[in-house]
Amino acid sequence: MMERFGIPLISGTIFGTGLALGGMTDPARVRGFLDLFGAWDPTLAFVMGGAVILMAIAWQVQKRMATPVFAEGFSLPDRSDLTPNLIGGSALFGVGWGIAGLCPGPGIAALVIDPVAAGIFALAMLAGMAIAGLFD
């Protein structure tokens, strides 16, 4: 029971807290980071840089593990996963991120901080997921 619900809940709470503390739930800060030729705000580069460093360490640790701690096996991406749908969806994701100033993780975390604005984003995100499901 703990592996099924507890670990994801703890992981999600830590992730959401990190997003909030790092400023990723503030759409103005995110748009400022994406505005390379205007009033660029570089603070999120440090958040992303920290994430890249931690992920690089995690990849090295994973290589030495036979199996994950809370699963039967690893589910890792490979180059065959790059499809036109994935690339197009990634581009659409980036455009939406730039317009809204939120992406799914920070958008869900922002529900605690600004429920009305983040709620609108979350509803639009769910609608987009439903529409995408129609074409999949």
Structure tokens at 80: 């065959």
Q: What is the CA radius of gyration of the chain?
A: 17
C-alpha distances in angstroms, 9 versus 2, 3, 15, 102, 124?
9, 10, 10, 21, 24
Cβ contact 117:110 at 8 Å: yes
Average pLDDT, the chain: 85
Please tell me the predicted confidence (pLDDT) of residue 69: 82
State the Cα–Cα distance between residues 100 and 86, nearest whole angstrom. Answer: 21
Question: For the chain, which residues make up each domain, given as ranges?
Answer: 2-135
Residue 52 confidence class, pLDDT cut points 50, 70, 90: very high
Residue 60 confidence class, pLDDT cut points 50, 70, 90: very high
